[in-house]
Amino acid sequence: MAERSFKEEVKKLTAGDGEVFSGEGILAVTKALLQSGVAYVGGYQGSPISHLMDVFADANDLLESLDVHFEASASEATAAAMLAASVNYPLRGAVAWKSVVGTNVASDALSNVASGGVTGGALIIVGEDYGEGSSIMQERTHAFAMKSQMWLLDPRPNLTSIVDAVEKGFELSEASNTPVMLEMRVRSCHMTGTFIAKDNVRPALTVSDAAAQPVRDLNRIVLPPANFLHEVEKVEQRWPAGIAFVRDNKLNEWFGPETGDIGIIVQGGLYNNLNRAMELLGLADPFGNSEIPIYCLNVTYPLIPEEVKEFCADKKAVLILEEGQPEFIEHELNTLVRRAELDTRIVGKDALPRAGEYSAQVIRDGIGKFLREWAPAIAPAEAVSAPLPAPVASQIPQRPAGFCTGCPERPIFTAMKLLERELGPTHVSADIGCHLFSILPPFNIGNTTMGYGLGSAGASAFKPKDKRAIAVMGDGGFWHNGLTSGIGNAVFNKDDTVTVIIDNGYSAATGGQDILSSRAENKERSTKNPIERAVRGVGGGWVRSINRTYDLQKMRDALREAMTTKETGPKVIVAQSECMLNKQRREKPLVRKAVKDGKRVVRERFGVDSDTCTGDHSCIRLSGCPSLTIKPNPDPLRQDPVAHVENSCVGCGLCGEVSHAAVLCPSFYRASIITNASGWERVRDRIRHGVIAMLQRRDDRARASRAF
Amino acid sequence: MEKKFERLNIAILALGGQGGGVLADWIQEVARHEGWLAQGTSVPGVAQRTGSTVYYVELVKPDDKGRSPVMAQMPTPGDVDIVIASELMETGRALLRGFSTADRTTLIGSSNRVYSISEKSAMGDGRGSSQKIFDAGRQRSKRFICFDMEEAADKAGSVISSVMFGALAGSGALPFGREAFEHTIRESGIAVSQNLSGFSAGFVAAQIAPALPQVDENPAPVPTTPAGREFEARVRARLPTAAHRNAIHGIARLMDYQDARYAALYLDRLEAVAERDMAPFILTEEAARHLALWMSYEDTVRVADLKIRASRGERVQKEVRVGKEDLLQVTEFMHPRLQEICETMPASIGRAVLNSKFLNRILAPFFQAGRHVETTSLHWFLMLRFVASMRRIRPRSLRYVEEQERIEEWLQKVRLFARNQPELALEVVRCQRLIKGYGDTFDRGLGNFRLIMDHVADGPIGAQDVAKLREAALADDAGTALAGAIGSSSDRNNQPAHQE
């Protein structure tokens, strides 16, 4: 069961011809796939394309009715390999993932499918996680398109253009026998908008039809001599065919006056920001009417030499707006201009920052710089900014990502932190997933992260004599590849490392999708395959499953044992507790209903007595829970703020465990609030309460008599 | 004549889970319902997990030719009409990023604080200044609306996103009537009545002048007993005015903590400092605070005493929001070690046990595990009441003896420096702040305090240096910064000898 249900979105996918579709960018892509007669879809979840995977996962009935095969792939490599179905058969297929990380994982299969070429249209939808809010290394998918010679679409960010790009992308792929990548920037994936829908189209050939009549073509298999043939084919046939299709179908666009001695070339995805920048400079109106010629690359690879030549021919200088580095397009433009024997000066990274997202602000500054050199008559004055003075700015804290309230992963790192006090610091190889937040305050645990599922592999160089390294791996990463790349590798190489596998029941960081070891019943997938069994299956001998991570002592003891046991070979701890975000989503309504139905319900939450709290905040440094915070000290003499538990507390129990295990302070209390208590319970409570209240009154009187 | 192009750019700054996305959707719905074009974008990513996120919405009135405007995907500094922030530092972040400008922007910010991890985990007070952000908000906006949205949501039994929506409607910054906004909430069909009441609270609050939440002043208490009145008269007669508030609080605290005799000891000690102090008497004022805090050190007796009071029970009831018909059980997490038990015993016995390896080995295992103490049960209540009753023999306890020795040693330094180096005396007084907490935390704090005091005793040392060392002691709990600071401070002290 995913974090939320997407039945509403699924309904939108059924929109017919002429209906106005309104929704987010990535959902528009999803709909466009169905309109294009796609036969199969695969992918791996991750921001910003999770939505596509989630919606398809919930759209089983619709997909079945259209005979579209959907698969929640085990990894991006799995998804890319799926495109093999388009090699021999005229099947349209699409796969999606987060890039550049997903493309890295997929690149073996991508190289193969790009080498042999495709018969049916093959579309690779990459969510380009670059710029603000990104959680990964800042690289460009562009390089992959270039190295494997796949075409790269980067449409203008409006839903109509994006949907067109999907449909044209399939045609382009088929016309040039080449897989096509569609780059979706984060903001475009989450951007709302509308387009006029078309009817969904059943694939002309379904995957079952294809399987029933197998086709074999030796020339399409990447093995000598065909691999050499493929290279020649790429250069001599597919490349020219691709260029011809892009040119003839006018996939790229032109705006502004037809001539001028300066111009701007822009990646399609940056077009809207460019227009806003020009509008603010008084060089364009809100409707895209520009005073400077613009050549908009909705296809950023390959470039179309004739179009470039024609655009540059009458211009002294052309500004290229290309986000990220290296500046592949700028290099290519320089080559094309030289080959065309033009004197046009290509201005790019010398006017714009080499790194980082190209916001309207950045583009505005870049254009200003460009114009001051090449068109001083229309150049704006240098902008004066008035930044917030440092004494004010320094008050605003960073907000690093952290574990959610009641997260079951938190106690694992609290335990590691406590163990660190006993055994000293340890090398910790982190992985990708929510657990990676351990590297941030307050835990500050983790030395490197080498990629999804690669926690154990990242620790494999350490063959320590005394102190073992600890590797962390999530259940998502484990099934993605960690079972073989990490555990299998450690077994085979007799590594002594300790691996903590965090089994929270979902691929939690990407939105709570089900995976092989999920505890949930899932009609369409096979779940409930225990991680421990898989670890033992590849030869892991020392395996401990802890089925309640909140049991801090147990957690710490297991870690200590793993770190100190004489047994050789990898030590694996499977730390299991359900993702609290998902658990709350499921259980909250049930609890509400039980209360309403008059059933006895016990709700637990924690609190801090502000009169015994001395404001040292050790508890926070071992937790970082959003609901464990501070408030001004109500004490008239004390000045440091006291710890405070907010009403959002879900009563996970860690605060109490921490104050015990770390011998912290007696300020924490657990409140158990019993709703719809039984009659007997009430009577007992009343008696108890009566006696205590009587004694308290007596104590109060005594205190009042000696008071100030 | 061509119609004027109308576009409104709206940036929303919120924290993960605060419903910034819902708010962005609502705003677009209102606009579409009123015939405007609307586009929204965001970059949620990992920021959904407790980080801060910017949502951006553009609303455009369609032109009569039916042309589609080109909409931007992120706010551009200087080009934002409305900023809505769910928290004060997020309001600050909007200023930091230049989204709010004095010539154009309606800035709607909540005055409440959601503390960041760096602010929360500081060993002392790591909070940013609310006032500075508030003042900057006023300067850098055309119109500033600032109230505690969290509180408003709470009172209305609603969530902050609907209060923000209400404040936006109430600001009049959008050309849509109140009904249009409310219609959107109704249309969404989720938690309609709660959202409408939050909306209404926000709408009303947007009309009042911007303000930060009130801070409790905690004026000096009024005496209720003859002894109290006597003490008050003594304070007013013998201590400088600047110290009155703290001294009276201190007396009240120590009478509650122990008895009038103990409070008298406090005043004797304080007067000895005051005699050596001069205007503006900050030293006495601060000594009144820190001496009272130290003298009311947190021992087992004090904790037990505070846990079983009726007032404490009421406070818990309120804090955890127990319904009228609900029952409440309260469990404490206590971890008294052998050391704390011995410290409660008369000094000679306590010391004997602690010094005996044999007894230590026999007894320690009984005090290893933490205890779950259910104060709402009669059994544990009586147990804690017994511990609290040991207040009477506290002055003979090991801990008492040790603490009074430490206090005297500290006061001796204060008195020594008071006349000739009043700033240094003041900084020494303030070092009491380091001694706090229980168990390991207490040991660490006391250790740091001693390190600094030893350094002071080695002298010569300036007031600034002591302040710096104290800050260093609060910089990390491994003592790294303090060790470094002491090292460099010693180097400096030794330098003049070598310089020539």
Among B95, B84, B164, B97, CA closest to B132? B95
Q: What is the pLDDT of residue B44?
A: 75
Q: Which residue of B has its CA nearest to A131?
A: B43
Average pLDDT over residues B418-443: 93
- Whether B337 has a pLDDT exceeding 90, the answer reads no
Best residue in B27, B36, B49 to probe A by mutation, most A CBs within 10 Å? B49
- Whether B366 has a pLDDT exceeding 90, the answer reads no
Q: What is the pLDDT of residue B498?
A: 41
Q: What is the pLDDT of residue B27?
A: 98
**The Cα angle at residue A183 between residues A178 and A184, in degrees rounded to 5:** 150
**Domain check: are A331 and A437 in the same one?**
no
More confident call, A335 vs B357: A335
> In degrees rounded to 5, what are phi and psi of residue A17?
-55, 125
Encode pLDDT of A257-292 as tens digits: 999 999 999 999 999 999 999 999 999 999 999 999
Distance from CA of B416 to the nearest CA of A (A): 25
Overall CATH class of domain B6-205 = alpha beta
Average pLDDT over residues A400-416: 94
- Which stretch of A336-340, B264-268, B496-500 has the lowest confidence by average pLDDT? B496-500
Q: What is the pLDDT of residue A511?
A: 83
**Domain check: are A258 and A372 in the same one?**
yes
Kindly give the residue spans of alpha helices, DSSP state H, lying in A375-488. Answer: 390-393, 410-423, 475-477
Q: What is the pLDDT of residue B47?
A: 58
Among A289, A196, A257, A160, CA closest to B5? A289
**Domain check: are A28 and A79 in the same one?**
yes
Encode pLDDT of B77-102 as tens digits: 999 999 999 999 999 999 999 999 99
- Whether A123 has a pLDDT exceeding 70, the answer reads yes
Mean pLDDT of chain B: 92
Phi-psi label, residue B437: left if phi above 0, alpha if psi -120 to 50, beta otherwise: left
**Domain check: are A275 and A295 in the same one?**
yes
**Preceding amide of B280 cis, omega within 30:** yes
- Which stretch of A123-127, A184-188, A519-523 has the lowest confidence by average pLDDT? A519-523
Torsion angle in degrees (nearest 10) through CA of B249, B251, B252, B257: 120
- Whether B294 has a pLDDT exceeding 70, the answer reads yes
Average pLDDT over residues A124-148: 95
Q: Which of A522, A545, A580 is the last residue of a domain?
A: A580
Are A271 and B95 inside 8 Å of each other by CB? Answer: no
**Domain check: are A258 and A242 in the same one?**
no
Nearest to B256 among A271, A677, A707 (CB): A707
Distance from CA of A126 to the nearest CA of B (A): 15
Q: Label residue B63 by pLDDT band (50, 70, 90).
A: confident
In a domain, A7, yes or no: no
In a domain, A538, yes or no: yes
Interface check B251 vs A, CB under 8 A? yes
**The Cα angle at residue A417 between residues A563 and A519, in degrees rounded to 5:** 75
Mean pLDDT of chain A: 95
Distance CA B188, CA B174 (A): 20
Distance from CA of A541 to the nearest CA of B (A): 32
Nearest to A402 among B49, B60, B129 (CB): B49
Distance CA A148, CA A234 (A): 10
Average pLDDT over residues B4-31: 94
More confident call, A127 vs A511: A127
* ipTM for this model: 0.95
In a domain, A8, yes or no: no
**Domain check: are A540 and A590 in the same one?**
no
- Which stretch of A122-136, A492-506, A524-538, B40-54 has the lowest confidence by average pLDDT? B40-54
**Domain check: are A641 and A494 in the same one?**
no
- Which stretch of A320-324, B245-249, B341-345 has the lowest confidence by average pLDDT? B341-345
**b/e for A478-489, b at 16 or more Cβ within 10 A?**
bbbbbbebbbbb
**Domain check: are A587 and A674 in the same one?**
yes
In a domain, A394, yes or no: no
- Whether A464 has a pLDDT exceeding 90, the answer reads no
Average pLDDT over residues A162-189: 97
Encode pLDDT of A428-441 as tens digits: 999 999 999 999 99
CATH number for the domain harbouring residue A292: 3.40.50.920
- Whether B491 has a pLDDT exceeding 90, the answer reads no
Interface check B105 vs A, CB under 8 A? no
**Domain check: are A59 and A191 in the same one?**
yes
Q: What is the pLDDT of residue B234?
A: 97
Q: Which of A534, A563, A580 is the last residue of a domain?
A: A580
- Which stretch of A132-146, A445-459, B226-240, B349-363 has the lowest confidence by average pLDDT? B349-363
Encode pLDDT of A345-374 as tens digits: 999 999 999 999 999 999 999 999 999 999
Are A617 and B256 inside 8 Å of each other by CB? Answer: no
Are A630 and B119 inside 8 Å of each other by CB? Answer: yes
Interface check A399 vs B, CB under 8 A? yes
Are A681 and B253 inside 8 Å of each other by CB? Answer: no
In a domain, A79, yes or no: yes
In a domain, A708, yes or no: no
Per-domain residue ranges for chain B?
6-205, 216-296, 300-393, 397-493
CATH number for the domain harbouring residue A555: 3.40.50.970
Average pLDDT over residues B407-413: 97
Average pLDDT over residues A609-630: 93
Number of domains within chain A: 4
- Whether A4 has a pLDDT exceeding 80, the answer reads no
Best residue in A280, A399, A694 to probe B by mutation, most B CBs within 10 Å? A399
Interface check A349 vs B, CB under 8 A? no
In a domain, A607, yes or no: yes
- Whether A212 has a pLDDT exceeding 50, the answer reads yes
Q: Label residue B439 by pLDDT band (50, 70, 90).
A: confident
Are B251 and A696 inside 8 Å of each other by CB? Answer: no
Q: Label residue B258 by pLDDT band (50, 70, 90).
A: very high
Spatial contact of A311 and A318, defined as CB atoms under 8 Å apart: yes
β-strand pairing of B82-85 with B106-110 = parallel
- Which stretch of A341-345, A508-512, A547-551, B390-394 has the lowest confidence by average pLDDT? A508-512
Q: Label residue B497 by pLDDT band (50, 70, 90).
A: very low
One-letter amino acid of B388: A
Residues of chain A positioned with their CB less than 8 A from the CB of B189: none
In a domain, A399, yes or no: no
One-letter-per-residue 3-state SS of chain B: CCCCCCEEEEEEEEECCCCHHHHHHHHHHHHHHCCCEEEEEECCHHHHCCCEEEEEEEEECCCCCCCCCCCCCCCCCCCCCEEEECCHHHHHHHHHCCCCCCCCCEEEEECCCCCCHHHHHCCCCCCCCHHHHHHHHHHCCCEEEEECHHHHHHHCCCCHHHHHHHHHHHHCCCCCCHHHHHHHHHHHCCCHHHHHHHHHHHHHHCCCCCCCCCCCCCCCCCCCCHHHHHHHHHHHHHCCHHHHHHHHHHHHHHHHHCCHHHHHHHHHHHHHHHHHCCCCCHHHHHHHHHHHHHHCCCCHHHHHHHHCCHHHHHHHHHHCCCCCCCEEEEEEEECCCHHHHHHHCEHHHHHHHHHCHHHHHHHHHHHCCCEEEECCCHHHHHHHHHHHHHHHHHHHEHHHHHHHHHHHHHHHHHHHHHCCCHHHHHHHHHHHHHCCCCHHHHHHHHHHHHHHHHHHHHCCCCHHHHHHHHHHHCCCCCCHHHHHHHHHHHHHHHHHHHHC
Are A692 and B333 inside 8 Å of each other by CB? Answer: no
Q: What is the pLDDT of residue B4?
A: 79
In chain A, which among 635-674 make CB contacts under 8 A with chain B? 636-641, 647, 655-656, 659-666, 668-674
**Domain check: are A629 and A650 in the same one?**
yes
- Whether B493 has a pLDDT exceeding 80, the answer reads no
β-strand pairing of B327-334 with B371-374 = antiparallel
**Domain check: are A82 and A155 in the same one?**
yes
Interface check A223 vs B, CB under 8 A? no
Average pLDDT over residues A44-70: 93
Distance from CA of B129 to the nearest CA of A (A): 6
- Whether A2 has a pLDDT exceeding 60, the answer reads no
Domain that holds residue A140: 13-198+216-248
Best residue in B41, B216, B433 to probe A by mutation, most A CBs within 10 Å? B41
- Whether A446 has a pLDDT exceeding 70, the answer reads yes
Distance from CA of B218 to the nearest CA of A (A): 6
Q: Considering chain B, what percentage of its residues have pLDDT values greater than 90?
A: 80
Distance CA B389, CA B305 (A): 8
Q: Label residue A632 by pLDDT band (50, 70, 90).
A: very high
- Whether B495 has a pLDDT exceeding 80, the answer reads no
- Whether B1 has a pLDDT exceeding 50, the answer reads no
Q: Does residue A606 sit in helix, strand or coil?
A: strand
Interface check B45 vs A, CB under 8 A? yes
Q: What is the pLDDT of residue B3?
A: 61
